[in-house]
Structure formats: structure tokens, C-alpha cells
Chains A and B, each alone.
Chain A
């Protein structure tokens, strides 16, 4: 079965602390993994995707096929990082319907 699991509904940290939002997936084949973010009163938007291997707003995510994980990390959280984060996967090389996790709300306190 295709599934994305985000075990934490809420992650609360202080400004400057490291952040790791967990994401595990179940998929037969080689999926593409994404992190989408929704800031307060804004639209859902792409944060990063595993094939780009890039860092966006200080966030990185490494695909670990052995552990079927795609955790999102940032070494020093900022208050403006507070948002809802969704991990998602799609089939690679074809149409890309997204399968989303339940989401993790990140709250960064001053």
C-alpha cells in the first residue's frame, strides 16, 4: 500500500534549536518525495523535493531508501518557520498524483 506517515502532529521548539520533522513512506517502486508547507493564511506550496537535493530556507531532506524515510531538517529554527508541513510522495516518471502525510505543525517559540 502507498502510504506516508508523519508521526508527530505537533513539534514545538525554541528559536535557534534544531528541527527534525519525521516522514516515513511505504511504496512499491521508486517514488519521488516532497515536502510541502502551508504558512498561516497562505496556500500550500512546495518546499523541496528529493531529486533536487537542494536546501530551501535552510531546510534539507535526505531520502533514505533503506529506512524508507525522508526527514526534514533545519539546524537553527526561526520563528517564521512556524507552519504546517506535509510530506508527500508520487510515482516517478509518470503523472504525479500526490499522496500526503497527515502533516506536522511546527511551532517555533521566541
Chain B
């Protein structure tokens, strides 16, 4: 079946603009995660959704970052007033059940470049 998909695959924007990144998790997966992969910071957790529970936003680096998950499926990560340090690959992952040790399945990522 289809894996996690993300769009766009690449995004180039100007400093100060807002961007939206989209993630389609694997059908039936209840948990959805956003991570950021950057040269200086490695792989960082950003935010996590599970079912109808309040999301864990503990990894969001600033209030310019926000995310939502509509209908328990598709998620959108929004970065407002982008800065050059936001340039990174944004990865989305989903898993079947957040309890226990279920595997996280990663998407191909969105490469964001802020000029």
C-alpha cells in the first residue's frame, strides 16, 4: 500500500513569507509526528498528534510554527514569517498506535529553503 506522502517535495521561499507543508499519513494510522532534519541540529521532534487527544507541541521551536490535523488524517505544518534558520528537511511520520513500540513510518520529506 501507499506509504506516508508529503507535499511539496521542495519549497523555496523568501524570508518573511508563510509556508504550509502537508502530510498524508498511512491510512488507519492513529499517530502522526513532525520532525525537522537540519545540518546543525540533526533530527528534532516538533509535534505529535494522536487521535482526538491534544497534540504534544513541546518540540515547536517558536510560536511561528503551528500544525493541525484535520479529521484525524491529513496534517499541515505552517511556518509564519519564515527565517533563514527554518531551512531544513521537514519529515512526517505515522504509526499505528502510540502505545507500545509500534514502528514509525516516515515520509520522503519536504526540503524548505528560505532565502
CB distance from B78 to the nearest CB of A (A): 20
* Chain A binding surface, main DSSP class: loop
Assembled-state Cα–Cα distance A16/B69 (Å): 47
Instruction: For B98, give the chain A residue with the smallest CB separation.
Output: A95
**Chain A: number of interface residues, binned into ranges:** 20 to 34
- Asked whether A97 and B45 contact (CB < 8 A) given A32-B101, A44-B106, A45-B106, the answer is yes
B101 and A51 contacting across the interface, CB-CB below 8 Å: yes
Assembled-state Cα–Cα distance A102/B43 (Å): 7
**How many B residues, CB 8 Å from partner?**
27
* Chain B binding surface, main DSSP class: strand
CB distance from B9 to the nearest CB of A (A): 12
Point out which of B35, B45, B99, B101 has the most chain A C-beta atoms below 10 A from its C-beta.
B101
B66 within 8 A of A: no
A residues less than 8 Å from B103 (CB atoms): 46, 49
A29 within 8 A of B: no
Assembled-state Cα–Cα distance A98/B45 (Å): 7
A101 and B106 contacting across the interface, CB-CB below 8 Å: no
A100 within 8 A of B: yes
Apart from A44-B91, A95-B98, 17 more pairs, CB < 8 Å: A43-B107, A44-B93, A45-B105, A45-B106, A46-B103, A46-B104, A86-B43, A90-B101, A94-B98, A96-B95, A96-B104, A97-B59, A100-B42, A100-B43, A100-B44, A101-B42, A103-B42
